[in-house]
Structure formats: C-alpha cells, structure tokens
Structure 1
Amino acid sequence: MSIAPTSTGYADVNGLHLYYETYGSGAPLVLLHGGMLTIDLNFASLIPALAQTHTVIGVEMQGHGRTANIDREITYANLATDIVALLDHLGIERAAVLGHSMGGGVALEMAVNHADRVSAIVPISASVSKDGMHPDLLDPSTFETSSIMPTAQDFADFKGAYERLSPHPEQFDAFLMSLSGMDADFAGWTDEQLAGISCPVLIVQGDNDFTTVAHAGVMLAKIPNSTLAVIPGTTHMQVTRRDTILLPVLERFFAAHPGV
C-alpha cells in the first residue's frame, strides 16, 4: 500500500534546493535514504504505517532524487547540517531520525554533533568505523558474485530513479564517483563521541548486510541507551523492505520512548 504525501516542498539550505515530503501527523520522524536511493525506493513500504503515529518527513539529500548536486563534498557532517537547517525551515526543534546506510551515518552524525536536535535515532545498515564493513566490500573481485551486493535490478532502479527525478539526469556516472569518494574518506566516530550520544538509539541491520553483525555488537556496546535488532535472511538492500519484521521492531522502540 502506498499513500500520497500530505505536502511536498523545497528548502533552500546551505546552497541546496533540498526536496522533502511530509506524511501523517504526530511526533516528527525524519527519514534519510541510503546512497543512490530516494524516499520512495528506500521507504515506500514503511511510510504508510509510520505516518499513522508520526509526522514523517522524507528527505532527498544532496544530489539524490529531486535535489540537485552542488559543488560541495558529500560528507556525513555536511549532510547533517542540511537536515538541521531543514528542521529550522520547518520550525521543528527536535525530531527522531531514521536513516538507512548513508542516511544512518547522517543520523549518527546528528546524535554526536547536533544532539539538541534529535529525540532518538534509528541507524539502519550503518557502521561507526571502516573496520565494520563486510570484507566483500573491500574486494572488487567479489562485487559481481557476493551475496551482499545490490542486484542488477537494484542498479537499474538506482539509474532509473536518477534519470527520472534528477534536475541533471546526465550526471549519473559522475555522481556515482562522488559517492565512492565519500566511502573512501569515511573516518567514523571516536569511542568518546559514541559514548556521549544521549538519545535513545535503535541499531538495525540485516544478517547479510554491508555492516557485519559483529560490528553491530560493537556499536551496541559503545553507544549508551542503545538496542540492536538483526533482521534474519536480509541483505543491505532488503532491510527497509522487510516491513513485516521491521515495523513491529520500530513500533516497540517508539512505544518504549513516549513522545519520540
């Protein structure tokens, strides 16, 4: 089931013409997609249920979906400042932030360096350091055969959405290169920074994800007030599509933290 957004719009923040959509009503919940994804590709199956209890704000970050790229490095720090500016634009003091992959990194960055703007975070398929990445991600010879990698259909969906929605559809290959540079420069967060996260945290990942289950356990140990949910039989691209498993996990988390 899909639902139409309550509203759509653009916020002019930090040099970006940032696209967003809203759904439902209740406490604000920001959804942040993964690299090369869009609101719809990442969260279509989750939004109808989440919008029953929250004001859901889907965002298409720099260079993704309807938001044009700009001449600025794509980093978790930069993307987090965009989301803070969007909250300012919408008049929202604090929000829960649920992010997948790249979006999960932005959620963590917000909890570390913009703690006063988040009521809770749900980093999905995210890592806090390079050593959390699945070994197949570091070995190009496995990219076409590894069970953790996106499928040919996933890549077709990425490209199709980019060409359909982007203000600059001809820049797809160049944009892929800029995102790969983001991964190469990822430094993660220190133990001290992670220990300083003060909001409730729900860590979610698939058992065959880009992040190893062992690393998710490390995150659980290092981040206070955190809970871990591992979705069985699930790859990186499938985590947010396992709605029959993921939605009850999210519902229990939000119920345990009233007002979030």
Structure 2
Amino acid sequence: MIALCTPSVWAQIKNSEHPITGYAPVNGLKMYYEIHGAGKPLILLHGSHATAATTFGGILPELKKHYKVIAVEMQGHGHTADINRPISCSAMAEDVSAFIKFLKLEKVDILGYSMGSGVALNLAVRHPDQVGKMVLLSPVYKATGIQPAYWPMLPQITPEVFKGSPVKLAYDSVAPNPKNWPVLVDKLKTLYSQNFDWDQKKIGAIKSPVMVIVGDADMVKPEHAVELFRLFGGGQFGDLQGLPNSELAVLPSTGHVGLLFRTDWLLAMIQPFLNKQTN
C-alpha cells in the first residue's frame, strides 16, 4: 500500500498542536496511540503494513477539528512492537476493545481502512456495546469478496518489494525494531486465507450504522460492497420506506490505494455521516 503522506509531513501535522501520545498495555502489547483534537471520540484503524500516518495523514487535519481523533497502531505496525502470536483481525479487535477500556471510553465511532475495516467488523461482532457508527473503507468479510487477481499476487509480496516505498520509510522511522519488517510482511500474508468467512449472520447482526466506501476499481468487488450494505439495512426504496441508517459510496476511477487520495470526497461524506441523527 502506498502512503498517503510521508513521515515528514505527518511530523508537521503532529507537532502543530502537540497531540497526546502514549502506549496502552493491552493483551501483551504496548499499543501506541495518538489523540488529536476534542469532541466525540473517533478511533482510526490503519491498513496493513502501514502506520496511522501513512493511512490517515490526508484526512486527519480536518477530522481533528471536529472530533477527538484517536489513532492507534496495531500489532507489529508503526511504533507498536510485535509479539509472539499471529496477526489476525480477531486478535486485533480484542486489542482495540481492551484499548477502549484502557481509555475508559464507553461507545466510540470507528474509521477503518482495509485491514482496519476488518478489525472494526470483528470488534462490532464481538463487542457491539463499544461501537457507535462505523466508516469502513474497502471492507470485506469473506474471501469471495476480494478480486480474484489478489490471490496469485499474494505470494509475490516480499519484504524487498517495499524497498524505498513510503510505508517502508515510515516503518523504519518509528518501529521499535526495524529489522522485524520481514516478520511483519510474512505474518500479513496469512491475515486473509482463500477460504476465510466471518459468517454472514454475525455480520448482519451488527446494529451500528455503517458507511461502506469502496473504489470502483478496488481490491473489493463492487457487488461485495453492495452485499455488505444490504446486510447493514441498506438497499431499500427510500422514497417509500425511508432512508436507512447505513450508507454506501462507490468512488469512480478509484482503486484500493487510490481511495486514500480522495481526501475531499472522503471528508465530504464521512463527516455528515458521523454527525447525522439516526432513526
């Protein structure tokens, strides 16, 4: 995944208003977090291989004007050191749940991208009382929702292919042990399997309002995005039946990585969704 902003740009964002930073002891991790702004809490869950900076650097400056934005870095990513366990969306969801308790928060809104959206889905299934609204960028809940071209590409992802990339530069600049990069890359190859399925009934039981956002050329199949939207109560005839609490957006001429560069579009949709009253 290509970074949305470089480490130097992120440093300027961070230093402009001196965010609160720290490490939360959760499930054997020392999970790094940053808190920007004030208001209703909004937790950001980054994508694979990335940091909070490389995923959300483009939209955080505006989000922190309106919300208490809490950006975490999950197992083995960014400032957070790896531990001796596989990296899975379910395990990271438990970490985020423990983190919410650590901050003594009750219910929070979630913004997740790619891997982070998978963590958000698992969190909502396992701990629904902790989740308010969710904005999911490029989410999937089963293997068949991923474009077929993804699977033959997966074995070709080696530590070396990231050489000189913004995500690798960001990792090297903040990781407690930069030499652990090959371990992270290897663990992430098993994050999704070709037969993973998080159970349609469990996903459909999520009561939180959800905004699903994908690109029309995303790693996520467009029909899978529609399927998710329907599971969250969308797809009805709004003129007769009223508008659903959940929303769907398919961005034109936009791929998986390119989604992060649609800053103006994302902000124009995310903020009204988070602010609107639900039925």
User: Normalization by structure 2: what TM-score?
Assistant: 0.84
Residue 79 of structure 1 corresponds to which residue in structure 2? 92
Residue 181 of structure 1 corresponds to which residue in structure 2? 190
Residue 268 of structure 2 corresponds to which residue in structure 1? 248
Shift in alpha-carbon separation, 1:31–1:158, aligned structure 2, 3 A: same
Per-residue deviation at 1:127?
0.5
Per-residue deviation at 1:19?
0.2
- Number of matched residues? 251
Residues of 1 paired with 2:43 and 2:180: CA distance?
Answer: 27
Shift in alpha-carbon separation, 1:239–1:153, aligned structure 2, 3 A: farther
Residues of 2 paired with 1:9 and 1:243: CA distance?
Answer: 27
Shift in alpha-carbon separation, 1:222–1:154, aligned structure 2, 3 A: farther
1:113 counterpart (102, 105, 126): 126
Residue 149 of structure 1 corresponds to which residue in structure 2? none
SS in 1 for 2:190: helix
Contact 2:151 2:194 in 1 (8 A): no
Residues of 1 paired with 2:132 and 2:96: CA distance?
Answer: 14
Shift in alpha-carbon separation, 1:251–1:141, aligned structure 2, 3 A: closer
Residue 19 of structure 1 corresponds to which residue in structure 2? 32
> After the TM superposition, which of the residue ranges 40-49 and 228-237 deviates more from structure 2?
228-237
Return 5+ residue gaps in structure 1 as ranges: 145-151
Residues of 2 paired with 1:142 and 1:229: CA distance?
Answer: 31
Shift in alpha-carbon separation, 1:253–1:16, aligned structure 2, 3 A: same
Cα displacement string for residues 128-175 of structure 1 (whole angstroms, at most 9, x for unaligned residues): 11000012102239979xxxxxxx789711221222211111121121
Identical pairs, percent: 35
Shift in alpha-carbon separation, 1:156–1:186, aligned structure 2, 3 A: farther
Residue 165 of structure 1 corresponds to which residue in structure 2? 174
Residue 193 of structure 1 corresponds to which residue in structure 2? 202
Residue 239 of structure 1 corresponds to which residue in structure 2? 259
Residues of 2 paired with 1:159 and 1:33: CA distance?
Answer: 15
Cα RMSD, aligned residues only: 2.1
1:3 counterpart (7, 13, 19): 13
Per-residue deviation at 1:3?
2.8
1:229 paired to 2:249: yes
Residues of 2 paired with 1:186 and 1:116: CA distance?
Answer: 29
User: Normalization by structure 1: what TM-score?
Assistant: 0.90
Residue 94 of structure 1 corresponds to which residue in structure 2? 107
Per-residue deviation at 1:226?
2.4
Shift in alpha-carbon separation, 1:236–1:71, aligned structure 2, 3 A: same
Residues of 1 paired with 2:213 and 2:93: CA distance?
Answer: 20
Per-residue deviation at 1:240?
2.3
1:257 paired to 2:257: no
Contact 1:136 1:143 in 2 (8 A): no
Shift in alpha-carbon separation, 1:106–1:233, aligned structure 2, 3 A: same
